[in-house]
Amino acid sequence: MARYYSIPSNLTTIKFCLLFPLLVGMVSAQLSSDFYATSCPNALSTIKSAVESAVSSEARMGASLLRLHFHDCFVNGCDASVLLDDTTTGQGEKNATPNASLRGFEVIDTIKSKLENLCPGVVSCADILAVVARDSVVALSAPIWSWPVDLGRRDSITASSAAVNSNIPSPTLDLSGLINAFSYKGFTAKEMVALSGSHTIGQATCGNFRTRIYNETNIDSSYATSLKSNCPSTGGDSNLAPLDVTSPTSFDTAYYTNLINKKGLLHSDQQLFSGGSTDSIVTNYSNNVGALITDFANAMVKMGRLSPLTGTSGQIRKNCRKAN
C-alpha cells in the first residue's frame, strides 16, 4: 500500500507528546467498554459473529478489517471517516492513494445493517471498526490476544483525502521516519514495533515491495528469489505476497522472527531490525509472546483513543458510507 506522511517541527511533536497522556485521560473518561450494555446489549455478540463468519470464509479478511481501524484512527482520529464514500463535492479518504488497497467495507456494511435492525441509530460506525479490529485478531489467534474495547465514539460527517496523504506512514520509510510518524500520534518506538506486529497477517502488493526485492541487500536471497516469481521487475503491480511468509493467517510472533532472518516483505518492516534502536524490541517479541500480547493490546487500546468524537459531536450514521 502506497502511503505518505508529513511530520511537523520537532517542537510541535514534543508539545503534542507532552499533552498526549492528558488527552488520552480525558477521552478515557468519555468512553467505556460497557457503553452499549443497556442501549444495545447484543451489539458485541452480533459483531463478533459477523467477523468470525467473514474470517472463516476468507482468512485474509481479518487483516483487512484490522487495517481499516488503523487507517481510520491515524487520519483525524477514530471517527469512521475512512468509511465515507466520495461525494459530488469532493474526494474522501477511501480513494486517496494510501487507501487504494483498503477492503472489507462490505463486511462493515453487513454488520451495520444487523445492528440497525437490532437497535436503530445506537451503535456508531467508529465503534464497529474498533470492535471488528479486536475480533479479527481473536479470530486469527486465540482469546488470550483479546483486549477491552472502549466504546462511545461517534461518527464524522466529513472525510479528507489530503489528511490521508499527510498522516498514513509509507512502506518506504526508514526507521527514523517510522519513529517520527508514530511519535506524532503519541506512540513510543516500542509501541510502534508492537503495532507493526499486525503484519503477521495480511498481504501487500508487488508495487510496494518490488524495489526491496530487486535493489536492497538486507534481504534473504532465497526469499527475494521466491518473491520475484510473482513480482516481476515490471508489471504485476497488484500481485500479492504475504507480509508474514511463515504463518500468514495466524496472529503470532513469526513476523518478528522473519525480520531477524531478513525476511521482512516491506522496506519499512525490515527497518525495525536493521542495526538500529528497535532491534532489541524485535528480538524480545520474537521469543516472548506474552510481552507481545500485552504490548500489542495496550497499543491497540491507545490507538482506539485517538481523537474520537464523543458527546454531541458528529452523529451516529445510519449507513456507514454516508452522513445521515
| Dist CA 175 CA 163 (whole Å) | 22
What are 90-111's pLDDT values in tens digits?
A: 889 999 999 999 999 999 999 9
Mean pLDDT of 133-156: 95
pTM of the predicted protein model? 0.91
Largest CA distance in the chain: 57
Q: What is the mean pLDDT of the chain?
A: 92
How do the domains of the chain map onto residue ranges? Answer: 10-171, 175-299
Is CATH 3.40.390.10 the right assignment for the domain spanning 10-171? no
CA nearest 95: which of 158, 166, 159, 161? 161
d(CA 111, CA 107): 6
Is residue 97 a contact partner of residue 170, using CB atoms and an 8 Å limit?
Answer: no
**pLDDT band of 269, cuts 50, 70, 90:** very high
CATH level 2 (architecture), domain 175-299 = Orthogonal Bundle (1.10)
Least confident of 18-22, 58-62, 171-175: 18-22
pLDDT tens-place string over residues 219-241:
999 999 999 999 999 999 999 99
Q: Is it the case that residue 11 has pLDDT exceeding 50?
A: no
pLDDT tens-digit readout, 156-166: 999 989 999 99
Closest by CA position to 211, among listed 166, 262, 268: 268
DSSP per-residue string spanning 4-28: -B----HHHHHHHHHHHHHHHHHHH
Catalytically active residues are 71
134 close to 147: Cβ distance less than 8 angstroms = yes
Residue 3 has pLDDT above 70, yes or no: no
